[in-house]
């Protein structure tokens, strides 16, 4: 919109129209142009700021969808984690106990994830907290599944050897119940009959007449026979699967080291050699290097009532 200028001419006594010079015209055009550019820029800025482009809108939509999918994934991992926990618990409390496998320490069941910088590369991704937490959960589950799978492999091996194991594990008394005259000392802390001080009694003492047969309580291989300090003449049988038995204070030994023996085979006779106050067999069951109460291993010989009574008698007294 151009303005029209008039100038008063005193000679003609008229108002006359004044036309702008070329310079003024150019200046006016430039000014209009600048104002136009500034206003246009402002409008463009406001519109861009307030409204997303279609591409931005699509990206935002995609991002939202991805985030939801991640959250669902994370929840499903949590659910699977619970199922895995149940499997682990059954494994520890049932299967591994049934097959006498060592418990798996929790440090192996729930291992650490490793260095703190492990997920550094994920810090730059959108929603990095969620992504890192989900990745860490998955990593942990992979490790736990590996441990669980190994545990099942171990149990499978134990099941395969179950038959042999049943024959080998000590499961009867070393003396015939008809010939045994009672238990003079049970398993546990007691006052030693010769030394008079409190000592751990690592087996049970079963009384019988001298010369009464002593039987192998499970299949195995004789590990050693001979004089063994306070035990006097003793026989040690290795039954495999972590089990060993020892028969002390023997009078005669009927087997030699390296010989295979079966459950119920006579291996020695009752005597009172070594630190013994009278004829008896000192019988030990050693499981993976630890002394166990031998009375727990008499189950094949006894009715449940007899077994209960035997356990009661074998408690140290």
d(CA 317, CA 311): 12
Q: How far is the CB of 236 from Zn ion (least distance, A)?
A: 15
Q: Quick one: which of 246, 141, 132 has its CA closest to 187?
A: 246
3-state helix, strand, coil in the chain (%, to 5): 45, 25, 30
Looking at 282, 286, 310, 314, which residue binds Zn ion (CB under 5 A)?
282
> Are 222 and 245 in contact, with CB atoms under 8 Å apart?
no
CB nearer to Zn ion: pick between 116 and 197: 197
Which residue has its beta carbon closest to Zn ion?
Answer: 282
CB nearer to Zn ion: pick between 253 and 314: 314
Q: Which of residues 114-153 bind Zn ion (CB under 5 A)?
A: none
CB nearer to Zn ion: pick between 219 and 293: 293
Element housing 101 (H / E): none
CB nearer to Zn ion: pick between 109 and 190: 190
> Which segment (115-123, 210-218, 254-262, 277-285) binds Zn ion by CB under 5 A?
277-285
> Are 280 and 268 in contact, with CB atoms under 8 Å apart?
no
SS3 79: helix
Q: Which of residues 220-259 bind Zn ion (CB under 5 A)?
A: none
Q: How far is the CB of 274 from Zn ion (least distance, A)?
A: 9
According to DSSP, residue 271 is labeled: B
Element housing 122 (H / E): none
CB nearer to Zn ion: pick between 4 and 189: 189
d(CA 174, CA 177): 9
Looking at 172, 175, 205, 273, which residue binds Zn ion (CB under 5 A)?
205
* Region of residue 197 (left: phi > 0; alpha: psi -120 to 50; beta: else): beta
Q: Which segments of the chain does DSSP mark as H helices, in order?
A: 22-50, 54-90, 96-98, 106-109, 128-160, 162-168, 304-314
Q: How far is the CB of 102 from Zn ion (least distance, A)?
A: 28
d(CA 221, CA 307): 27
Strand (E) positions, 228-315? Answer: 233-240, 243-253, 260-261, 266-270, 280-287, 290-292
Could you give phi then psi for residue 186, rounded to 5 degrees? Answer: -90, -175
x-marked contacts with Zn ion along 147-186 as a string, rule CB under 5 A: ----------------------------------------
> Which segment (77-85, 87-95, 238-246, 280-288) binds Zn ion by CB under 5 A?
280-288
d(CA 195, CA 62): 84
Neighbour-count burial for 260-293, b at 16+ CB within 10 Å, e otherwise:
ebebeeebbbbbebbbbeebbbbbbbbbeeebbb
CB nearer to Zn ion: pick between 263 and 282: 282
Q: How far is the CB of 119 from Zn ion (least distance, A)?
A: 60
Q: How far is the CB of 201 from Zn ion (least distance, A)?
A: 6
CB nearer to Zn ion: pick between 205 and 228: 205
Interface with Zn ion (CB under 5 A), residue total: 2
> Which segment (125-133, 168-176, 198-206, 251-259) binds Zn ion by CB under 5 A?
198-206
Q: How far is the CB of 294 from Zn ion (least distance, A)?
A: 10
Q: How far is the CB of 262 from Zn ion (least distance, A)?
A: 25
> Which segment (17-25, 82-90, 279-287, 305-313) binds Zn ion by CB under 5 A?
279-287
Q: How far is the CB of 176 from Zn ion (least distance, A)?
A: 19
- Give the binding site for Zn ion (CB under 5 A): 205, 282
């Amino acid at each position: 919109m151009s303005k029209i200028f008039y100038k008063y001419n005193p000679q003609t006594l008229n108002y006359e129209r004044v036309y702008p010079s070329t310079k003024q015209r150019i200046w006016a055009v430039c000014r209009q142009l600048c104002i136009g550019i500034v206003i246009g820029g402002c409008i463009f800025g406001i519109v861009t700021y307030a409204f997303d482009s279609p591409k931005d809108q699509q990206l935002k939509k995609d991002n939202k969808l991805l985030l939801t999918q991640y959250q669902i994934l994370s929840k499903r991992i949590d659910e699977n984690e619970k199922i895995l926990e149940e499997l682990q618990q059954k494994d520890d409390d049932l299967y591994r106990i049934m097959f006498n496998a060592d418990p798996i320490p929790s440090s192996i069941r729930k291992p650490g994830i490793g260095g703190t910088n492990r997920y550094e590369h994920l810090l730059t991704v959108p929603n990095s907290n969620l992504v890192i937490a989900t990745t860490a959960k998955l990593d942990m589950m992979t490790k736990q599944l590996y441990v669980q799978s190994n545990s099942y492999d171990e149990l499978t091996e134990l099941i395969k050897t179950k038959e042999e194991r049943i024959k080998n594990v000590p499961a009867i008394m070393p003396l015939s119940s008809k010939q045994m005259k009672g238990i003079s000392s049970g398993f546990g802390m007691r006052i030693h009959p010769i030394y008079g001080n409190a000592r751990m009694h690592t087996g049970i003492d079963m009384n019988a007449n001298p010369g009464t047969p002593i039987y192998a309580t499970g299949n195995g291989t004789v590990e050693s026979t001979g004089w063994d300090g306070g035990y006097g003449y003793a026989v040690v049988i290795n039954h495999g699967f972590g089990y060993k038995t020892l028969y002390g204070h023997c009078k005669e030994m009927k087997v030699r080291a390296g010989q295979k023996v079966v459950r119920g085979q006579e291996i020695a006779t009752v005597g009172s050699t070594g630190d013994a106050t009278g004829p008896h067999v000192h019988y030990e069951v050693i499981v993976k290097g630890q002394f166990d109460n031998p009375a727990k291993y008499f189950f094949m010989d006894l009715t449940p009532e007899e077994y209960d009574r035997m356990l009661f008698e074998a408690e140290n007294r």
